[in-house]
Chains A and B, each alone.
Chain A
Amino acid sequence: MELQVSGHSTYIYTGGKTPDPALPAVVFIHGAQQDHSCWGLQSRWFAHHGHAVLAPDLPGHGRSAGHALASVDAIADWIIALLDAKGVRKAMLVGHSMGALAALDAAGRHADRVSRLVLIGASVPMAVSDALLEAAANDEPAAMAMVNGWSHSQRGLLGASAVPGMWIYGINRRLMERQQPGTMVNDLRACHSYLAGATAAAGVKCPVLLVAGSRDQMTPTRNTKTLASLLPQAKVVTLHPAGHAMMSEQPDALLDALVSFSYG
């Protein structure tokens, strides 16, 4: 569906069902250089199991208009604006990578708007290497190749997709290529410069689930432990084997973790 959020046309995937405002809302927030389609299976399941699903393309990503937001707190504010635009008082936020930082920031600064928080492939801080930032600024194809290589476990790099016939490495590559030029460096800089994670974590009042990939090179599991120490209420689930791209590498295991948490 199309919705005006903060003055821009925004595309929101709803999992194949029109969201019912009477149902509990779940917002799926994608990561850097991605769009809503990274959540295909998980968002579809929730939409068909008693939830109102909102999986937006963030501003400047996918089908949404506007420029990519320059900071994590701006994305967090935009998520709250999205809830306002849809008339949703409180929602479960599910974020991946950059989207996880935005979900954390939103939950920390707007605790009364977030019922549950799921952070997938998250670390605080989320430092990005100089080499990757440099490539993202000057050689996007090289940056995409770096990110794609680091986003998958060895098993993921050889495929064995849970969805029959899909080559997940190729899908991630093409999805990154679809984004507007300049999006990647914007997103990576937003992740790199976000230093308010600990403060945000202190403000989180809702149940939290942290999901880590056992072979994640982008946000290694040791970082998940650090984040867990900031969120003492958090439950931690590690998917094995999985790299950073857990939605495609371990779609069923991730969904099981989300379902268990959402009904827990």
Chain B
Amino acid sequence: MTYKFDTLSLHAGQTPDAQHGARAQPIYLTTSFVFKDTDHAAALFNMERAGHVYSRISNPTNAVLEERIAALEGGVGGIAVASGQAALHLAIATLMGAGSHIVASRSLYGGSHNLLEYTLPRFGVTTTFVDPRDLDAWRGAIRPETRLLFGETLGNPGLDVLDVPAVADLAHEHGLPLLVDSTFTTPYLMRPFDHGADLVFHSATKFLGGHGVAIGGLLVDSGAFDWDKSGKYPTLTEPYAGFHGMDFTEESTVAAFLLRARREGLRDFGACMSPLTAFQILQGMETLPLRMQRHIENTRKVVAHLARHEAVAAVAYPELEDHPDHALAKRLLPRGCGAVFSFTLKGGPSGPKAAGRRFIESLRVFSHLANVGDAKSLVIHPASTTHFRMSEDALGAAGIHPGTVRLSIGLEDADDLIADLDRGLAAAQKA
């Protein structure tokens, strides 16, 4: 028999410690590992034997986390890195070099957008951003030098639902892989590989950890993309002088990407995860199914309350019938559309921006900070924080209204969350 999701959340990748019988995953807080002899050392360096050499490349605690996310996503393996940003960078750096091009959804997390729009062009990798709902725009943006299509399962800030099957089909028609940021949905709500995506990454800082104590990223390979057949990925299909002339697709038919990403990417870029962080994220993942159920339960109650509140102009949540992706969400996200969403205040006498400030300052249970996916409920008012330098016109172009408020719904009692929001809404109406 094979094991199901909830069981894998607790057990995948881990067996009780053979020496002491420790049931919890031990934290191997060590930089390096003792070789048995010189031949063993050489065999480890040359991929003739399995094992660990140095914790920048691999570590037993990290390996459990990597296997666990791979099991939950239905992939062939994973790599734990320092942050979600590091995971995105590792994916791109493994697949391409200067002169390459990416087609990405324009509804991206700001950090991802910064990397693609401002930083990577300095290294010769450019990106065309497209409306994620416009399949013709995706198609039209693909060039001969395109090497990757990239989007988020739920876009930022309007929760655009990425049509993973359609975009994946389009990518595959052009011999390209689809990379998906699955941070907002986690494998509990959607397994992008089941819908055709080829690579997935997470900011594990968010729902996977769930406790808000550790920054980390996870990159997972489906193992389904045929790099040889595509013919566009010499980093994977031609001998690599930097690692014994290895041709990674010859070495591993289905895990070539992960081999290169670890043997080059972790070795040379070095954005590794601390074993302590891996342990902390594993603790969170053990309860992922239970937490996600509660996140969704609470979010549905809060969304329903806000949607009928007189002080609220609009709520953007794909389970609502007026959301543009409602039908797609029902198909791809039947378990729920995540616990992060935005709503827009109508505004009081001084306008929506002032109402937004007053709303935030009146809350007692929601924490005002720049994160999402915590067990505790979080709130931010983009117009007065992350986007405060922007004019109203520029905010509009980014899909942000002066009265837009982003919530990340936590695991508290929903009644307390609603009472807290009502307090803020009452104050906002007077601002």
Contacts and interface: CB of A to CB of B under 8 A. Distances in A.
B333 to A, nearest CB: 23
Looking at A13, A63, A174, A177, the one whose CB has the most chain B CB atoms below 10 A away is A174
Looking at A63, A161, A171, A255, the one whose CB has the most chain B CB atoms below 10 A away is A171
Given A40-B252, A160-B13, A165 B258 contact: yes
B120 to A, nearest CB: 25
B222 A45 contact: no
B49 A16 contact: no
A48 B13 contact: no
A37 to B, nearest CB: 4
Given A145-B2, A174-B223, A166 B48 contact: no
Looking at A45, A63, A167, A169, the one whose CB has the most chain B CB atoms below 10 A away is A167
A110 interface: no
Contacts of A206: none
B254 A165 contact: no
B177 to A, nearest CB: 14
A16 B67 contact: no
A166 B258 contact: yes
A164 B76 contact: no
B49 A251 contact: yes
A200 B372 CA distance: 65
Given A45-B49, A251-B50, A167 B71 contact: yes
A interface SS class:
helix
B43 A45 contact: yes
B332 interface: no
Looking at A13, A164, A169, the one whose CB has the most chain B CB atoms below 10 A away is A164
Interface string B30-50: 000000000000110011111
B67 A159 contact: yes
Contacts of B62: 164-165
B14 interface: yes
Contacts of A145: 2
Q: Closest 7 CB pairs between A and B?
A: A165-B66, A162-B50, A164-B58, A174-B223, A167-B70, A45-B48, A166-B77
Interface of A: 13, 16, 35-37, 40-41, 44-45, 48, 62-63, 145, 148-149, 155, 157-167, 169-171, 174-175, 177-178, 251-252, 255
